[in-house]
């Protein structure tokens, strides 16, 4: 049996490579989503805040991420935890002040980190001044900022569109005009009318405001939703809806061709791109579609969004065959405009979705490593680097999607628990007796305190993974070559690098020439040399330099 070379384990205290530069810097970047409310509280009110993010930026720099995406921190009544914005250029006092943002931006810069602001353009809060004016004066200029329609013949909502959070996507004008307004989410989140050019002007100014104050780009909420069918036609019905269905199931019972995923939205993003051209800002859209051609339309010509999140993988349970097929399709059609993630604040945590415990973690790491070999950005969601499973929520649900639809509904809260920094009360997240979202304590082995120091911890493996792209830029710069594909395994070539992913349940043999020096393995001891072949353990991904060449 031949000996295998490893490039050496991470020790958790590795020097941070230089910041990615150039207009295409984002292509090699690893992003990290901070769910601000649950990251770090500094003022003892039980809610995470901007000052808390600043305090923890060195942790993120050490982890090796390049971009920090901050969930909305704007002024908001908080019906959807910040995704209902009442002032796009103000900071929610619960989360801090503009000065706190400035301090955060300055600290990020010093540490070589970039910041993505989560902009929410599909809807505002019903408390936003634009909506108040639209209601108060149906003939005034703000009326047309929103989507209004007369009732159907029976006096009910104008069409069959439903809200993501349950019930119809229409509510009566509180001003008494007799018209309905559209809301694809809560009634407190009225949809903006992107057919009105004034709305684009407003958002161009909002993006300029944040870029002038240090933002490097935007995660665009519901990017697939902005424009609506002008004739407001019914969506085709896919299956019958009945009482007691989860709102997500109800939503999935319609084909969303008239309220979402419209060609006009892709065209609109060309205007967005023009609006940020002189700001060097990067636009990454939330793109909740299973239609890869529609997805590609938003990114492939490089004149609309820079990239979009492939949500499909993160919304599925463990299904290696389907996942590989999906990923290759997005890779082939999107011209590099992809942002990969296994989970975010809207989904069950990957470790739990993929089987829980050691199994779930092994699968999560194998898949994340493979994603890192595909074109585009790779995003981690806070706590992934600690291998966190879904939180057990104690007390009441906070997620409006479940809280408003009755007990027992699956809730996004499971992914939104406070970060377990330490074994202190409330996980070192807050000094308040109880956090805003009360979740069960986790064993000490999950805490950041423990994992940043413990050799071979999950955190250290993620650190090695994030640094891999910087140490071996070939991994994202060299052309993507599909060298071998089985139902549940892949060999990807990137110059002289090889990424061998075995997502199946049996070991897989690949030619030994692929695996000269192992640069990264998603689990220990996942490679075994056997003559002319190398065996890769089940549910493991290995990044290697070929036997004959040096790594780039």
Residue whose pair of structure tokens reads 């070991």 in the numeric block: 507
Q: Return the number of the residue (72 or 387) whose C-beta is nearest ligand NOJ.
A: 72
Q: Which of 49, 66, 191, 221 binds ligand NOJ (CB under 6 A)?
A: 221
Q: Return the number of the residue (345 or 427) whose C-beta is nearest ligand NOJ.
A: 345
- Answer for the pair 14, 463: CB distance below 8 angstroms, yes or no: yes
Q: Return the number of the residue (397 or 492) whose C-beta is nearest ligand NOJ.
A: 397
The residue annotated as part of the active site, out of 33, 100, 188, 221, is: 221
Residue in the shown chain whose Cβ atom is closest to ligand NOJ: 83
- Ordered strands of the 533-536 beta sheet: 508-511, 533-536, 527-530
Active site residue 221: yes
Q: Minimum Å distance from CB 10 to ligand NOJ?
A: 31
Q: Minimum Å distance from CB 521 to ligand NOJ?
A: 32
- Answer for the pair 51, 99: CB distance below 8 angstroms, yes or no: no
CA distance 416 to 92: 19
- 429: contact with ligand NOJ by CB under 6 A: no
Q: Which of 80, 100, 341, 539 binds ligand NOJ (CB under 6 A)?
A: 80
CA distance 294 to 223: 12
Residue 326: φ, ψ to 5°: -60, -50
Q: First and final CA of the chain: distance in angstroms? A: 27
Q: Return the number of the residue (221 or 341) whose C-beta is nearest ligand NOJ.
A: 221
Name the nearest CA neighbour of 518 among 9, 51, 84. 9
Q: Minimum Å distance from CB 222 to ligand NOJ?
A: 5
Residue 497, beta-bridge partner list: 494, 545
Scanning residues 117 to 136, which ones bind ligand NOJ (CB under 6 A)?
120
Residue 517: φ, ψ to 5°: -115, 125
Q: Return the number of the residue (224 or 438) whose C-beta is nearest ligand NOJ.
A: 224
Beta strands in 382-514 (DSSP E): 480-485, 489-494, 497-502, 508-511
Active site residue 259: no
Residue whose pair of structure tokens reads 């897989």 in the numeric block: 508
CA distance 404 to 166: 8
The residue annotated as part of the active site, out of 33, 41, 92, 286, is: 286
Q: Which of 66, 346, 375, 384 binds ligand NOJ (CB under 6 A)?
A: 346
Q: Minimum Å distance from CB 120 to ligand NOJ?
A: 6
Q: Minimum Å distance from CB 189 to ligand NOJ?
A: 7
Q: Return the number of the residue (37 or 461) whose C-beta is nearest ligand NOJ.
A: 37
- 521: contact with ligand NOJ by CB under 6 A: no
Q: Return the number of the residue (286 or 375) whose C-beta is nearest ligand NOJ.
A: 286
- 348: contact with ligand NOJ by CB under 6 A: no
- 73: contact with ligand NOJ by CB under 6 A: no
- 69: contact with ligand NOJ by CB under 6 A: no
Q: Minimum Å distance from CB 287 to ligand NOJ?
A: 11
- Answer for the pair 480, 511: CB distance below 8 angstroms, yes or no: no
Q: Minimum Å distance from CB 220 to ligand NOJ?
A: 10
Q: Minimum Å distance from CB 347 to ligand NOJ?
A: 9
**Which x/- pattern over 283-322 shows residues binding ligand NOJ (rule: CB under 6 A)?**
---x------------------------------------
- 83: contact with ligand NOJ by CB under 6 A: yes
Contacts of 153 (CB under 8 A, 6+ apart): none
SS3 readout for 114-165 = EEEEEECCCECCCCCHHHHHHHHCCCCCCHHHECEECCCCCCCCCCCCECCC
Q: Which contacts of 482-491 are long-range, i.e. CB under 8 A and separated by 24 or more positions?
A: 482/328, 483/514, 484/510, 485/324, 485/328, 487/320, 487/321, 487/324, 488/320, 488/321, 488/324, 489/536, 490/324, 490/328, 490/370
Q: Return the number of the residue (384 or 521) whose C-beta is nearest ligand NOJ.
A: 384
The two beta strands, 30-34 and 87-91, are unpaired
- 222: contact with ligand NOJ by CB under 6 A: yes
Kindly list the catalytic residues.
221, 286
Contact residues toward ligand NOJ (CB under 6 A) are 80, 83, 120, 185, 221-222, 286, 345-346
């Amino acid at each position: 049996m031949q000996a295998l070379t490893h490039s050496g384990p991470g020790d958790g205290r590795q020097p941070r490579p230089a910041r990615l530069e150039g207009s295409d810097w984002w292509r090699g970047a690893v992003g990290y989503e901070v769910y601000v409310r649950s990251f770090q509280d500094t003022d003892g009110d039980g809610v995470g805040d901007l000052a808390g993010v600043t305090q923890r930026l060195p942790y993120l720099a050490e982890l090796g991420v390049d971009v920090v995406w901050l969930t909305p921190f704007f002024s908001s009544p908080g019906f959807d935890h910040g995704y209902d914005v009442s002032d796009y250029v103000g900071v929610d006092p619960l989360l801090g002040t503009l000065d706190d943002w400035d301090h955060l931006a300055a600290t990020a810069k010093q540490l070589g980190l970039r910041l993505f602001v989560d902009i929410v353009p599909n809807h505002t809060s019903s408390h936003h001044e634009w909506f108040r004016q639209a209601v108060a004066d149906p003939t005034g200029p703000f009326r047309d900022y929103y989507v209004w329609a007369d009732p159907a013949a029976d006096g009910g909502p104008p069409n069959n569109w439903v809200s993501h959070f349950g019930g119809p996507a229409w509510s009566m004008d509180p001003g008494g005009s007799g018209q309905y307004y559209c809301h694809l989410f809560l009634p407190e989140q009225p949809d903006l009318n992107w057919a009105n050019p004034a709305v684009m002007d407003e958002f161009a100014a909002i993006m300029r405001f944040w870029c002038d104050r240090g933002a490097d780009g935007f995660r665009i909420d519901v990017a697939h939703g902005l424009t609506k069918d002008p004739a407001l036609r019914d969506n085709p019905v896919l299956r019958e809806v009945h009482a007691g269905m989860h709102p997500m199931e109800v939503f999935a019972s319609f084909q969303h061709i008239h309220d979402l995923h419209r060609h006009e939205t892709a065209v609109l993003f060309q205007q967005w791109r023009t609006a940020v051209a002189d700001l060097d800002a990067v636009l990454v859209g939330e793109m909740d579609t299973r239609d890869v051609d529609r997805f590609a339309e938003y990114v492939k010509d490089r004149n609309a969004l820079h990239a979009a999140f492939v949500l499909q993988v993160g919304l599925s349970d463990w299904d290696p065959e389907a996942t590989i097929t999906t990923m290759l399709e997005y890779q082939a059609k999107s011209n590099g405009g992809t942002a990969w993630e296994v989970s975010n604040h809207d989904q069950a945590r990957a470790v739990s979705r993929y089987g829980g415990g050691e199994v779930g973690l092994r699968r999560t790491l194998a898949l994340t490593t493979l994603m890192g070999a595909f074109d585009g950005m790779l995003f981690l969601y806070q706590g992934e680097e600690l291998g966190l499973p879904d939180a057990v929520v104690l007390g009441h649900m906070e997620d409006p999607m479940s809280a408003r639809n009755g007990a027992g509904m699956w809730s996004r809260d499971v992914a939104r628990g406070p970060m377990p920094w330490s074994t202190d009360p409330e996980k070192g997240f807050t000094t308040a007796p109880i956090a805003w979202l009360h979740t069960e304590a986790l064993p000490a082995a999950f805490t950041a305190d423990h994992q940043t120091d413990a050799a071979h911890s999950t955190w250290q493996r993620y650190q090695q993974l994030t640094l891999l792209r910087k140490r071996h830029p070939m991994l994202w710069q060299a052309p993507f070559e599909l060298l071998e594909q089985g139902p549940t395994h892949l060999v990807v070539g990137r110059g002289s690098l090889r990424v061998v992913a075995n997502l199946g349940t049996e070991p897989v043999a690949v030619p030994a020439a692929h695996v000269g020096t192992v640069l990264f393995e998603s689990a220990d001891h996942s490679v075994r040399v056997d003559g002319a072949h190398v065996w890769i353990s089940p549910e493991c991904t290995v990044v290697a330099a070929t036997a004959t060449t040096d790594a780039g």
